[in-house]
């Protein structure tokens, strides 16, 4: 395989990748899943594809296309006398697949740490779920179909329901379901899963329709420089693991593989979400230089992690981290976060075949609190809906789950689940600076009902003699226009606001943020969105309560100046975004930020707003890079 101008492949931090050792024996036969790429007679034209950057960095190298590899299945129908044998085959396959998944979990725990091993632990639990066996057995016995087809019917049904959801975080979990489906059916078909990495002749970029979480957990950064998938998004477990391994990754590229089969080399930009096939020499040289610059920049940024996030005129800004796994708190500390501004608790439910117990939740929350070493942590209550939890908690699939029974609405409808979570959360509050965040609050009645339940649970714990934090701060996520428009009233009844910009944009503009056909209409820069944010910040300031931003806007440099100009002084984001935002803040002057914000609120279109913010951003980045004193 030819690698490019100088036959050098580059990994995510800008350093040349270690070349693969020369084979000492006959190499294995190529896996048919790795598409053959004939050498082109002449240089192919450069092609650029845009997706979603899910793990930052730049990777340059040869291309390997991973095709779907179908299993050879037996005939669908079985004879009546063969039903008992099919059930026995099912049980053997479930046991073998669970054992294999448990082994993969142990290996992931050693390589990646416990939070990523939990992904595979969830798979093991799902394989061992008695309901899965019962559903598959029922199909075998009632419809006299093979064990393979029974498993596929059950799990494809779950995967299809997940993919239909408007919440991208949960729709991405279809990959987990298909991962365990492949394990079980593979055992039934007598085929041992094989890592595609075994056939890589050199460190490469892997392009696939999708990668399962199991594939991702086994990625070797020395062999896989980066990957891009046609499907998926930021919320997928595959993306989470890629970020942990610091492998650049792009998801949701769309129709990529048909174009990639003849490509000899590619560039993958995990920050901009770009895949460039057969880059022209000038493009290749530009990205090689950018990779080197990125490596140098992050070395400098790591040295600045202890610096305060203070503007040039002395205004302090609290930078917080968003986490989903407890162990991600370590990354928050590494990059100098003031605390955790959003701890999503959904994963505790997604990884379990049954709702987690009070004790299981308490242990998770307590570990997160202790790991922050006294820094505050904002724990958000369950942000899922009955439709999204139907495989575990019951409930039917709603036609429009984004407007249905989700988040706080769901918790209030299922008080036994809500009270269990609140008990665990309040118990953990005795261990440190814990704050509670209620998601998708729409009406004052919802807030008051939730606070009443919280008060009842606190009284129960006191009666039991359990310690808890008195005067526990309670805030709401401002994610819908209703709560933004009523922010002045909400401000009288809560301790803080946290603006969830992702859903706020979706609900304000009536645009499904997971629908690629209307993606051009989904814009944080839309004047309607900006005015709602300004209204919320103003209401918080009038009441004297903190107002932070924990949605994607909080970590996007384009909007940092605007948010500071409005008066936002708390920004929460994925830990890897903290260093760049800190550096920018240290180059901002508040008087200029206020001017930018005021001008943005006067504009008519998102395009005009973006142009204004981009023009304001460049000189501030320059000021920050010069190391001008800031506080």
pLDDT at residue 622, rounded to an integer: 67
- 49 Rama class: left (phi>0) / alpha (psi -120 to 50) / beta: beta
pLDDT at residue 22, rounded to an integer: 31
Give the pLDDT confidence of 172-194 residue by residue, as tens digits: 677 778 888 888 988 887 754 45
pLDDT at residue 91, rounded to an integer: 93
Phi, psi of 575 (to 5 degrees): -55, -35
pLDDT at residue 351, rounded to an integer: 61
Which stretch, 25-29, 182-186, 223-227, 302-306, has highest mean pLDDT?
A: 223-227
Residue ranges covered by each domain of the chain? 1-71+196-292, 80-188, 309-316+490-624, 339-472
Residues 539, 488: contact at Cβ < 8 Å?
yes
Rounded to 10°, the helix 130-143/83-112 angle is 150
237 counts as catalytic: yes
Mean pLDDT is lowest, of 133-142, 252-261, 276-285, 596-605, for 252-261
Say yes or no to pLDDT of 1 above 50: no
pLDDT at residue 235, rounded to an integer: 55
- 573 Rama class: left (phi>0) / alpha (psi -120 to 50) / beta: beta
More confident residue, 471 or 405: 471
Give the pLDDT confidence of 375-414 residue by residue, as tens digits: 999 999 998 753 345 445 555 556 677 788 889 999 999 9
For residue 200, the SS3 value is coil
Q: Please, what's the b/e burial string for 338-360 (b: 16 or more CB within 10 A of its CB; e: otherwise)?
A: bbbbbbbbbbbbbbbeebbebee
Beta bridge partners of residue 47, listed in sequence order: 277
Residues 168, 150: contact at Cβ < 8 Å?
no
pLDDT at residue 169, rounded to an integer: 61
- 80-188 folds as Enzyme I; Chain A, domain 2 (1.10.274)
Say yes or no to pLDDT of 119 above 80: no
Mean pLDDT is lowest, of 127-136, 210-219, 457-466, 574-583, for 210-219
Angle at 359 between CA 356 and CA 360, to 5 degrees: 45
Residues 260, 63: contact at Cβ < 8 Å?
yes
- What CATH number has the domain spanning 309-316+490-624? 3.20.20.60
In the DSSP assignment, the letter for residue 490 is: H
More confident residue, 128 or 490: 490
In the DSSP assignment, the letter for residue 313 is: T
Residues 128, 94: contact at Cβ < 8 Å?
yes
pLDDT at residue 72, rounded to an integer: 53
The arithmetic mean of pLDDT across residues 547-573, rounded, is: 95
- What percentage of residues in the chain have a pLDDT greater than 70? 81
The arithmetic mean of pLDDT across residues 222-239, rounded, is: 80
Strand order in the sheet with 249-251: 47-50, 274-277, 265-269, 58-66, 204-208, 224-229, 249-251, 52-55
pLDDT at residue 551, rounded to an integer: 86
How would residue 148 be classed by pLDDT, with cut points 50, 70 and 90? confident
Residues 10, 248: contact at Cβ < 8 Å?
no
Beta bridge partners of residue 249, listed in sequence order: 55, 227
Q: Which CATH architecture has domain 1-71+196-292?
A: 3-Layer(bba) Sandwich (3.50)
- 339-472 folds as TIM Barrel (3.20.20)
The arithmetic mean of pLDDT across residues 607-612, rounded, is: 97
The arithmetic mean of pLDDT across residues 133-150, rounded, is: 91
Which stretch, 75-89, 186-200, 210-224, 485-499, has highest mean pLDDT?
A: 485-499
Query: 80-188 and 339-472: same fold?
Result: no
392 counts as catalytic: no
Centre a 10 Å sphere on the Cβ of residue 421 and count the other Cβ atoms it contains: 23
Sign of the dihedral through C-alpha 555, 233, 387, 349: negative
Catalytic residue among 169, 237, 332, 576: 237
Calculate the average pLDDT of the chain: 83
Q: pTM (2 decimals)? A: 0.69
Mean pLDDT is lowest, of 115-124, 282-291, 325-334, 459-468, for 115-124
DSSP string, 416-450: HHHHHHHHHHHHHHTTS-EEEEE-S--SHHHHHHH
Give the pLDDT confidence of 296-355 residue by residue, as tens digits: 887 888 888 889 999 999 999 999 999 877 878 888 998 999 999 999 888 777 666 678
Catalytic residue among 123, 149, 550, 576: 550
pLDDT at residue 385, rounded to an integer: 59
The arithmetic mean of pLDDT across residues 70-76, rounded, is: 59
Place of tokens 């942590």: 377
How would residue 17 be classed by pLDDT, with cut points 50, 70 and 90? very low
């Amino acid at each position: 395989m030819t690698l490019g101008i100088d036959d050098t492949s580059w990994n995510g931090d800008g350093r040349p990748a270690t070349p693969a050792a020369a084979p000492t024996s006959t190499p294995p036969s190529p896996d048919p899943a790795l598409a053959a790429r004939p050498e082109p007679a002449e240089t192919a034209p450069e092609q650029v594809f845009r997706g979603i950057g899910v793990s930052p960095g730049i990777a340059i190298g040869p291309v390997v296309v991973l095709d779907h590899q179908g299993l050879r299945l037996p005939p669908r129908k079985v004879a009546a006398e063969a039903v008992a044998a099919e059930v026995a085959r099912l049980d053997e396959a479930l046991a073998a697949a669970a054992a294999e998944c448990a082994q993969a979990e142990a290996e992931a725990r050693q390589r990646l740490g416990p939070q990523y091993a939990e992904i595979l632990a969830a798979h093991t639990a799902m394989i061992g779920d008695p309901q899965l066996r019962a559903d598959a057995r029922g199909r075998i016995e009632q419809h006299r179909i093979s064990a393979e087809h029974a498993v596929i019917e059950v799990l494809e049904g779950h995967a299809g329901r997940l993919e239909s959801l408007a919440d991208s975080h949960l729709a991405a979990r279809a990959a987990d379901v298909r991962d365990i489906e492949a394990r079980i059916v593979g055992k039934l078909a007598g085929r041992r899963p094989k890592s595609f990495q075994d056939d890589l002749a050199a460190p490469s970029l892997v392009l696939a329709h999708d990668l399962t979480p199991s594939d991702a957990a086994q990625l070797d950064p020395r062999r896989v420089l980066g990957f891009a998938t046609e499907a998926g998004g930021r919320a997928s477990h595959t993306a989470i693991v890629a970020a942990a391994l610091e492998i650049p990754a792009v998801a949701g590229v769309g129709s990529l593989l048909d174009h990639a089969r003849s490509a000899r080399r590619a560039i993958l930009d995990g920050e901009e979400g770009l895949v460039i096939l057969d880059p022209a020499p000038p493009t290749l040289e530009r990205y090689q230089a950018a990779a080197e610059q990125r490596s140098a920049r992050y070395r400098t940024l790591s040295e600045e992690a202890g610096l305060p996030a203070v503007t040039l005129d002395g205004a302090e800004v609290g930078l917080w981290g968003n986490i989903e796994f407890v162990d991600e708190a370590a990354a928050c500390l590494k990059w100098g976060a003031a605390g955790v501004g959003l701890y999503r608790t959904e994963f505790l439910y997604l990884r379990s075949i049954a709702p987690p117990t009070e004790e299981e939740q308490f242990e998770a929350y307590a570990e997160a609190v202790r790991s922050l070493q006294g820094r505050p942590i904002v724990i958000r209550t369950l942000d899922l809906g009955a439709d999204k939890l139907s495989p575990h908690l019951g409930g039917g699939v709603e036609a429009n789950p984004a407007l249905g029974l989700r988040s706080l609405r769901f918790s209030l409808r299922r008080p036994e689940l809500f009270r269990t979570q609140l008990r665990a959360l309040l118990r953990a509050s005795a261990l440190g600076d814990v704050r509670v965040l209620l998601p998708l609050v729409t009406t004052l009645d919802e807030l008051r009902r939730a606070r009443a339940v919280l008060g009842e649970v606190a009284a129960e714990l006191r009666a039991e003699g359990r310690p808890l934090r008195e005067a526990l701060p309670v805030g709401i996520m401002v994610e819908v226009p209703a709560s933004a428009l009523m922010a002045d009233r909400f401000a009288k009844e809560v301790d803080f606001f946290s603006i969830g910009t992702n859903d706020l944009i979706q609900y304000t503009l009536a645009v499904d943020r997971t629908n690629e056909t209307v993606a051009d209409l989904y814009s944080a820069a839309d004047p309607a969105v900006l005015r709602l944010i300004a209204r919320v910040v103003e209401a918080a300031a009038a009441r004297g309560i903190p107002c932070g931003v924990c949605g994607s806007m909080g970590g996007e440099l384009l909007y940092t100046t605007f948010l500071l100009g409005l008066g936002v002084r708390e920004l929460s984001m994925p830990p890897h975004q903290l260093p760049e935002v800190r550096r920018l803040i240290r180059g901002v002057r508040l008087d200029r930020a206020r001017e930018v914000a005021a001008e943005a609120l006067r504009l008519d279109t998102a395009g005009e707003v973006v142009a204004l913010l981009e023009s304001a951003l460049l000189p501030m980045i320059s000021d920050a890079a010069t190391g001008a004193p800031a506080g």
